[in-house]
């Protein structure tokens, strides 16, 4: 019989080629908690606890998958974001902590809007983590989540149900918005995903679009590049701001005057995105760093 402690050593040994010791320890804790349903306090306090054969087998199976570089969130099928649980699969990006900071910024900014409610649009919603955590905390707003991927939208819809909130869902390509929304072929597989933007404008538009260039890709961990959806991550090297331009254009037509646009950004393009927004007549543009001190998000008023 293996104890919790035995697995701590196994994780350090088996995963040392892929993760540093701190990451191995964090993976070990996540897996033990998931399989045993012990609290993290219990795992710390009783490292000699013996595990059942069924539990040990389950841990070994997860360890085998981890050794292929597959992210733990895809193996377990969920991730935590903004205190909520989200189902994830390889059709959606795994929610990142820096995106929680963007959500926090949106929530703390609503006081400056003219109206006490209204509509929010999340462009490129993926798992739905931004839109759903906003709806959960700003229930007076109508939230619409848009994505180019039907599989992502189904995941977002499932996550809205898990977290007991109602959102509107739109299947569309923000780079080619009109034609995609009007294309009936694209709509059919999603007949249950309602499309409701009316012609009303939004108080808030938020987006964490793809922003990773080939240059950044070379520095990224293999478990991101090999497993996460490339449509959610990568942009053409010769037009890295393609999504920011399209979304800023869309926002300038679809935001209320005094409405707010929020972006998560690539740390290398802060100044360029500020300039782009200035050219498109946005005001009060603010660039913020994330907890790792990298330029990571922008807020602009229309």
Contacts of 298 (CB under 8 A, 6+ apart): 261, 262, 263, 265, 270, 273, 274, 277, 285, 286, 287, 288
Distance, CA of 136 to CA of 160 (rounded, Å):
9
By CB under 6 A, the residues from 189 to 228 that bind ligand GLN are: 208-212, 224
The CA distances from residue 74 to 29, 125, 158, in Å, are 16, 18, 16
Under DSSP, the state recorded for 20 is -
Closer residue to ligand GLN in complex, CB, 98/256: 98
Measured from the CB of residue 199, what is the shortest distance to ligand GLN in angstroms? Answer: 29
Contacts of 269 (CB under 8 A, 6+ apart): 211, 240, 241, 244
- Number of residues forming the site for ligand GLN (CB under 6 A): 9
Distance, CA of 24 to CA of 27 (rounded, Å):
5
Measured from the CB of residue 93, what is the shortest distance to ligand GLN in angstroms? Answer: 6
Closer residue to ligand GLN in complex, CB, 55/125: 125
Closer residue to ligand GLN in complex, CB, 18/113: 18
| 96 binds ligand GLN per the rule CB under 6 A | yes
Measured from the CB of residue 124, what is the shortest distance to ligand GLN in angstroms? Answer: 8
Measured from the CB of residue 215, what is the shortest distance to ligand GLN in angstroms? Answer: 13
Closer residue to ligand GLN in complex, CB, 4/146: 146
- Crossing angle of helices 129-137 and 150-162, in 10° steps, is 30
Of all residues in the shown chain, the one whose CB is closest to ligand GLN is 211
- Interacting residue ranges for ligand GLN, rule: CB under 6 A: 96, 208-212, 224, 233, 264
């Amino acid at each position: 019989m293996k104890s919790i402690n035995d697995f701590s050593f196994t994780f350090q040994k088996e995963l040392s080629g892929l993760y540093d010791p701190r990451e191995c320890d964090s993976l070990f804790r996540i897996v033990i908690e998931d399989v045993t349903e012990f609290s993290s306090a219990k795992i710390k306090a009783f490292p000699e606890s013996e595990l059942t054969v069924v539990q040990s087998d389950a841990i070994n199976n997860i360890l085998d998958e981890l050794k292929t570089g597959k992210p733990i969130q895809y193996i377990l099928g969920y991730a935590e974001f903004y205190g909520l649980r989200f189902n994830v699969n390889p059709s959606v990006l795994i929610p990142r902590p820096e995106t929680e900071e963007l959500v926090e910024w949106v929530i703390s900014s609503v006081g400056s809007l003219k109206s006490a409610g209204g509509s929010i649009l999340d462009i490129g919603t993926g798992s739905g983590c931004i839109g759903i955590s906003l709806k959960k905390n700003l229930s007076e707003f109508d939230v619409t989540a848009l994505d180019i991927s039907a599989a992502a939208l189904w995941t977002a819809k499932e996550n809205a149900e898990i977290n007991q909130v109602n959102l509107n869902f739109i299947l569309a390509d923000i780079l080619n918005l009109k034609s995609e929304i009007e294309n009936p072929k694209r709509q059919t597989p999603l007949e249950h995903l309602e499309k409701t933007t009316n012609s009303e404008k939004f108080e808030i538009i938020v987006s964490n679009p793809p922003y990773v260039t080939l240059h950044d890709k070379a520095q990224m961990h293999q478990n991101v590049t090999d497993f996460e959806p490339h449509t959610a991550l990568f942009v053409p090297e010769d037009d890295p701001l393609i999504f920011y331009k399209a979304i800023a254009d869309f926002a300038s037509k679809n935001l209320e005057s005094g409405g707010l646009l929020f972006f998560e950004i690539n740390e290398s393009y802060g100044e360029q995105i500020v300039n782009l927004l200035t050219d498109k007549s946005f005001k009060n543009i603010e660039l913020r760093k994330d907890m790792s001190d990298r330029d990571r998000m922008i807020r602009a008023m229309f």
